């Protein structure tokens, strides 16, 4: 091929490359401008979160979860109206209200499964459906798919709209009912605990205490002469348990039929005069805690309710159900 032919061929290749590049750029979804100018995903939520009355969550292959507003908080009707965790609900609603569209993705329904936004198919292909009720207003519905591959964000699409959007918010949506509940039972800081006493049906009692908040470790009232603790902090676990005691499950006390006497009774007292009493029952080889009374302890320190039973994890029960020999050094 002559020089002239090579030049023509080179120009032709360059022209084809340029045309292909332009075509690809036109077909590629364009990123939207800076956050301040990006379009809101749900403009109806702007300044209107207090107008929401209910939230339905449908995760693939799992039971539907419904939350309803009650006063200033949220409850779960299927759990006899037990309170939902305010930070979890507020975090999701705030993220939805703040969400802005970053980039348009596919609008092809056949590709929805690849980004977890299909309405049918395998569970991993389907999106989590959110329905936000607004009293007498039209509900807002959307499907939530996979998180962004890089950085913060989530793939979503409005229900009934094939267009997929990458938004600038990560939406944290617990898949189980338990994940939405306010699981706190007791939250009494260890530093404020003066004494914990456990009494068993046999009458055996273990009392751990300290005289001053400056003492780092609890002592044992029933310590036999000539014996010592296994280690200095051996008795502390009976009190640190109550610094952040969350339940594994719960049920209205009226619906639970405990048989026989409790496995133990406990009492806790604080340096500022607070008192907490409770019992633990064994039901189906699982420990259930019942709060029996409190005095000078506010809801922040005892979020649990007296008319509910709370299932504990085994390790939580074991931390409380200590016998004297459990905390003593071997002879």
Identify the pLDDT of residue 331.
86
Identify the pLDDT of residue 31.
43
Per-residue pLDDT band at 37 (split at 50, 70, 90): confident
Closest C-alpha to 204, from 325, 73, 47: 325
Identify the pLDDT of residue 151.
84
**pLDDT of 33 above 90:** no
> What is the average pLDDT across 186-213?
98
* H or E segment to which residue 283 belongs: strand 275-283
**pLDDT of 29 above 50:** no
> What is the average pLDDT across 39-57?
97
From CA 110, how far away is CA 93, in angstroms rounded?
30
**pLDDT of 7 above 60:** no
> What is the average pLDDT across 32-49?
81
Per-residue pLDDT band at 59 (split at 50, 70, 90): very high
> What is the average pLDDT across 254-262?
93
**Could you give the percent of the chain with pLDDT greater than 90?**
86
Assess contact for 166 and 279: CB atoms under 8 A.
no
Identify the pLDDT of residue 21.
40
> What is the average pLDDT across 112-139?
96
Can you give the pTM of this predicted structure?
A: 0.86
Identify the pLDDT of residue 12.
54
> What is the average pLDDT across 208-223?
98
**pLDDT of 110 above 60:** yes
Beta strands 264-270 and 219-220 are unpaired
From CA 98, how far away is CA 214, in angstroms rounded?
46
Lowest mean pLDDT among 20-34, 205-219, 234-248: 20-34
Closest C-alpha to 123, from 153, 140, 145: 145
Per-residue pLDDT band at 289 (split at 50, 70, 90): very high
11 Cβ partners below 8 Å, 6+ apart? Answer: none
Q: How far apart are the first and last CA of the chain?
A: 100
Identify the pLDDT of residue 209.
99
Assess contact for 277 and 267: CB atoms under 8 A.
yes
**pLDDT of 61 above 90:** yes
125 secondary structure, DSSP code: G
Q: What is the mean pLDDT of the chain?
A: 92
Identify the pLDDT of residue 20.
47
Dihedral sign for Cα atoms in the order 237, 239, 244, 245: positive
Per-residue pLDDT band at 10 (split at 50, 70, 90): low
Per-residue pLDDT band at 6 (split at 50, 70, 90): low
Per-residue pLDDT band at 36 (split at 50, 70, 90): low
Work out the burial of residue 329: count CB atoms within 10 Å of its CB; fewer than 13 is exposed, 13-18 middle, 19 or more buried: exposed
Per-residue pLDDT band at 4 (split at 50, 70, 90): low
Question: 305 or 6: whose pLDDT is higher?
Answer: 305
């Amino acid at each position: 091929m002559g020089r002239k032919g090579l030049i023509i061929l080179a120009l032709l290749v360059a022209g084809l490359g340029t045309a292909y590049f332009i075509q690809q750029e036109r077909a590629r979804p364009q990123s939207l401008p800076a956050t301040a100018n990006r379009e809101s995903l749900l403009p109806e939520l702007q300044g209107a979160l207090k107008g929401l009355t209910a939230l339905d969550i449908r995760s693939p292959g799992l039971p539907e979860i419904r939350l309803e507003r009650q006063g200033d908080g949220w409850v779960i009707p299927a759990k006899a109206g037990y309170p939902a965790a305010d930070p979890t609900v507020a975090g999701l609603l705030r993220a939805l209200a703040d969400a802005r569209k970053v980039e348009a993705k596919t609008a092809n329904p056949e590709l929805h499964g690849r980004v977890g936004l299909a309405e049918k198919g395998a569970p991993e292909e389907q999106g989590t459906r959110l329905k936000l009720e607004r009293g007498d207003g039209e509900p807002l519905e959307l499907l939530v798919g996979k998180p962004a591959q890089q950085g913060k964000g989530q793939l979503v699409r409005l229900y009934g709209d094939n267009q997929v959007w990458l938004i600038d918010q990560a939406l944290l949506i617990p898949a189980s009912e338990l994940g939405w509940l306010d699981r706190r039972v007791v939250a009494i800081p260890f530093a404020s605990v003066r004494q914990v006493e456990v009494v068993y049906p046999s009458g055996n009692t273990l009392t751990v205490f300290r005289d001053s908040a400056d003492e780092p470790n609890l002592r044992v009232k029933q310590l036999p002469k000539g014996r010592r603790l296994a280690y200095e902090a051996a008795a502390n676990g009976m009190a640190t348990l109550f610094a952040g005691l969350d339940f594994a499950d719960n049920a209205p006390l009226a619906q639970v039929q405990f048989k026989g006497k409790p496995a133990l009774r406990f009492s806790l007292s604080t340096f500022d005069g607070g008192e907490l009493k409770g019992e633990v029952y064994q039901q189906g080889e699982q420990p259930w805690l019942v709060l029996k009374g409190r005095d000078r302890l506010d809801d922040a320190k005892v979020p649990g309710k007296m008319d509910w039973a709370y299932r504990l994890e085994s390790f939580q029960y074991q931390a409380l159900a200590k016998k004297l020999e459990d905390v003593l050094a071997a002879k």
